[in-house]
Amino acid sequence: MDRLTAMRVFVSVVDLGSQSAAAEHLHLSRPVVSRYLAELEGWVGARLMQRTTRKLSLTAAGAQTLPRCRQLLELAGDLQMAVQRPDDTPHGTLRISVSSSFGQAQLIDAVVDYAQRYPAVKVELQMLDRTVDLVEERIDLAVRSCHVLDPGLIARPLTLCRSVVCASPAYLKAHGMPLHVEELAQHNCLTHTYFSNARWYFEVDGEPLEVAVKGNISCNEAISLQKAAVLGAGIALLPAYLAAPALRSGELISVLPQAKPRELMLNAVYTSRKHMPAALRSMLDFLVERFADGSPWSLTAQEHVPGSGE
């Protein structure tokens, strides 16, 4: 059995929704498609699909087999292209997952510059405010800010991701400027649904300090929290790469400059060093070079306060 062809048939049937559509797409007959599916199931040792006259659905074994078939087919394609392109020129499709805030504020600019340098690479950006399964969702690279990573993944550090506590002049005029971290508990704090939702963490005079916060607005992405802060809704803990322009313009004002919010490492995360495509390797090197120089958005909150010399 040609196992690669059988896997290609299986993936096509799933993607196109029927054996007939897959047969037409692959220029095969319907019986040949059925035979390849049966042979693949025999090799795997489990039924992969429930087939009725109306629809196809994956079994539990099929759901586990599908992403691995996709990965093997991509590796086979990479192997073929490597022979055809001995100079290892970056090419093909690169799928990247990133949060909406960092994607819009910083990564899209980097991707545009990368695409100009490597025009043979197609970059597919998925801006998602959740942690993705790189294998299951066929993601080549994820940009994440975190302390702890899945032990099955490889992380390449890009830069520190600093945060800033800030509010609009209107909010501070109406509710007062907090002078101590503990006073945040008395304010309306705008919180991120998945990130430090109930507690904010700081370092003050070299000592760790945390405070329970609450507020009437919570959101699963930071861009909306920044807009709410600019509109005077409350105090927000925002990544510096997102808040810096509003701090410079005076739309937001830094709060508690003596308290340093917890810093996270911004990582480029991928699944394996083996068989790494040239496109992925070149993107990793490009991002490390771009973000490792102490980008302006990663400066401390104090340096973004209007009137501080900028």
Asked, for residue 151, whether it belongs to a domain, the answer is: yes
Phi, psi of 111 (to 5 degrees): -65, -40
**DSSP H or E stretch at residue 190:** strand 189-192
What was the pLDDT predicted at 30?
87
Exposure string over 181-205, b if 16+ CB within 10 A, otherwise e: beebeebbbbbbeebeeeebbbeee
Q: What is the CATH number of the domain that holds 121?
A: 3.40.190.10
- Same domain, yes or no, for 254 and 276? no
Find the radius of gyration of the CA atoms of the chain: 25
- Same domain, yes or no, for 186 and 249? yes
- Same domain, yes or no, for 41 and 27? yes
- Same domain, yes or no, for 124 and 153? yes
In 3D space, the residue among 298, 30, 273 whose CA is nearest the CA of residue 163 turns out to be 298
- Same domain, yes or no, for 106 and 38? no
Asked, for residue 277, whether it belongs to a domain, the answer is: yes
- Same domain, yes or no, for 169 and 152? no
Q: pTM here?
A: 0.63
Report how far residue 154's alpha carbon sits from residue 138's, in angstroms, rounded to the nearest whole number: 16
Residue bearing tokens 């980097």: 110
Asked, for residue 78, whether it belongs to a domain, the answer is: no
| 78 touches 277 (CB < 8 A) | yes
| 46 touches 52 (CB < 8 A) | no
Asked, for residue 272, whether it belongs to a domain, the answer is: yes
Report how far residue 166's alpha carbon sits from residue 251's, in angstroms, rounded to the nearest whole number: 10
Q: Is 51 helix (H, G, I), strand (E, B) or coil?
A: strand
Distance in Å from the first CA to the final CA of the chain: 68
In order along its 310 residues, the chain shows pLDDT tens digits of 588 889 999 999 888 888 888 888 888 888 888 889 999 999 888 889 886 656 778 898 898 899 989 888 888 876 666 555 545 788 888 999 998 888 888 889 999 999 999 999 999 998 887 777 787 788 899 998 866 667 678 888 888 888 899 999 999 999 999 999 999 999 999 998 876 668 898 988 888 898 999 999 998 888 999 999 999 999 999 988 889 889 999 999 999 988 988 888 888 988 876 667 889 999 999 998 888 765 555 544 344 444 333 3
Asked, for residue 75, whether it belongs to a domain, the answer is: no
- Same domain, yes or no, for 168 and 242? yes
- Same domain, yes or no, for 174 and 259? yes
Asked, for residue 218, whether it belongs to a domain, the answer is: yes
- Same domain, yes or no, for 18 and 107? no
Number of domains in the chain: 3
Report how far residue 92's alpha carbon sits from residue 86's, in angstroms, rounded to the nearest whole number: 15
Beta-sheet strands, E only, within 37-153? 49-51, 56-58, 92-98, 121-127, 141-146
Asked, for residue 59, whether it belongs to a domain, the answer is: yes
Asked, for residue 25, whether it belongs to a domain, the answer is: yes
- Same domain, yes or no, for 96 and 61? no
Range of the domain at 286: 92-158+268-292
